[in-house]
Amino acid sequence: MDKIIIRGGNRLSGTIPISGAKNAALTLIPCALLTEEPLTLRNLPRLADIDGFQHLMTQFGVSTSIQGNRPEDFGRVVTYEATRLTSTVAPYDLVRKMRASILVLGPMLARAGEATVSLPGGCAIGNRPIDLHLKVMEALGAQIELAQGYVRAHAPDGGLPGGDFDFPVVSVGATENALMAAVLAAGTSRLTNAAREPEIVDLCNLLVAMGAEIEGIGNSELIIHGVKRLHGATYRVMADRIEAGSYACAAAITGGDVRLEGAKGDEMAATLHALRNIGVTVESDARGINISSDGKLKAANLSTAPYPGLATDMQAQLMALLCRAEGTSVLNETIFENRYMHVPELNRMGANIETSGRTAIVHGVEKMTGAEVMATDLRASMSLVIAGLAAEGTTEVRRLYHLDRGYERLEEKLALVGADIERVGDD
C-alpha cells in the first residue's frame, strides 16, 4: 500500500489548478439515469469515488466513454448513455465503500419506477442515516421497504405522482435525491428547508439544462414541476470549493503565496471569512483566489453549519491550520458527531488539542514535528498533509485510499508550488 512522504518546511508559492468538485460530480453522474440520451460531463475529476460510481452505472447498463484521457491532464470529459436500463439493483459489493451510491435511488425510481439499493458505506465520521432519503421518496409517492440490508422502492403504476416535503433538518444528499426523483414526477413537488449548497445549485442547473422545470434554485424552498421526459446535455462540473479551501490552508500554514486557479470565492465565502479571521490575506477575482500569509496566524472560534455556514468538510483542515496559530481556538462540529478522529494523529505531530463531545480546543504551538500518521477519513487525511507541510522533519501519511477518494493527484499539485512531497510504495 502506498504512503505519502512529506519533508516539511517549504514555503508554498505558485498556482494550483482546482479540479471539478467531487461532491457535485457524484450528484451529476446519476442524472444520466434520467434520460435515454447522452449526458456529457466536462471537468470530471480523476478520483477513486468517481471510478467507483462509474462501475455502479455500468451495473445498470449505462455505457461510458472518456475523451482526452491523457495522464498529464487534470480532469476528464466523460459521456454517459443510458439508452436502456438493464438492471435496477445497486448491489452491496459496489455500494458498501461509497455513501453517495444512495443517490441512484431517486433517478432510478423516476425513470424505471423501481430501485433496489444496498445500504451505503463511506467515511466512518459518525451516524449518517438515510431516513430522510426514504421519507422524502415516500412523500413523492414511493413505497419503501427495508429488507436484508437493501432499500426496495417502488413507484405506483404511472410513476411517481410528486408531493410536498418539509425537511426537519437540512440534508444535502436527501435534497439531491428528491430533486432527481421529482423532475419526472406526474405533478408538482415542493421541498422546504432544502439544502442550498453550491453543489445543489449545480445539480439544479444541470437538470434545467436537461429540460427540467425548477423554481427557487439557490433558496431553501424548491418547486419542481414534473415533466414527461428529459433530454441529454453537455455540462461542466463546478470547481471543488473543498479542494480549494484545503490548498488555501496548506498555503497559509507555510507562510506561502498561492493562486487557486478556477476557485470561486462566492461559493466558499464562509471558508474565506474564517481564513481572514485567522490572519490570512485573501483576494478573489472571476478566475480564481489568491492566498498569502506571513505565517503569523491568529486563534479563532469556528463552528460548522449547513450552507451558507462553514462546511463540515473544512473543519479538519482549518484545525490543522489553527494548530500553528497564536492563542487558543475553539471549534464546534454541529453536523457529524464523530468527526475528530484526526485529533490523536495531529497530537502525535506535536499539536495540543483537547476534545469534549462536539467541541475541540486547539492550543496553538510554536512548532510541529513530523511523524508516522494514519488517515481516518477523507478530510482528516488532508489535515495531516497540511500539518506535515509545516512540521519539522519527515511526515509519513498512510491509508491513502482516503485521500484518493477526494483529491485529484494531490502530491503533484503540491509539488507544483514547492512542497517536498512524494508518493512511494510501502515496504
Cα(366)–Cα(292) distance, rounded to whole angstroms?
20
List the grid coordinates of 370.
513530523
Residue 166, beta-bridge partner list:
192
Q: Which residues are annotated as a binding site for phosphoenolpyruvate?
A: 22-23
List the grid coordinates of 223.
418547486
Q: Which residues are annotated as a binding site for UDP-N-acetyl-alpha-D-glucosamine?
A: 99, 128-132, 313, 335
CA atoms within 13 A on the CB side of 242: 26
Backbone phi and psi for residue 162, each to the nearest 5 degrees, phi listed first: 90, 170
Q: Which residues are annotated as a binding site?
A: 22-23, 99, 128-132, 313, 335
* Percentages of the chain per state (helix, strand, coil), in multiples of 5: 35, 30, 40
The catalytically annotated residue of 31, 123, 204, 323 is: 123
Nearest to 200 by CA among 181, 186, 220, 184: 220
Do residues 25 and 419 touch, judged by C-beta distance below 8 A? no
Does residue 323 carry a catalytic annotation? no
What are the start-end ranges of the E strands in 221-273? 221-225, 233-236, 257-261
What end-to-end distance do the CA atoms of the chain give, in Å?
8
List the grid coordinates of 65.
466513454
Place of cell 444512495: 102
Backbone phi and psi for residue 129, each to the nearest 5 degrees, phi listed first: -65, 160
CA 355 to chain centre: 25
Sign of the dihedral through C-alpha 174, 175, 176, 177: positive
Cα(58)–Cα(56) distance, rounded to whole angstroms?
5
| Enzyme catalytic residues | 123
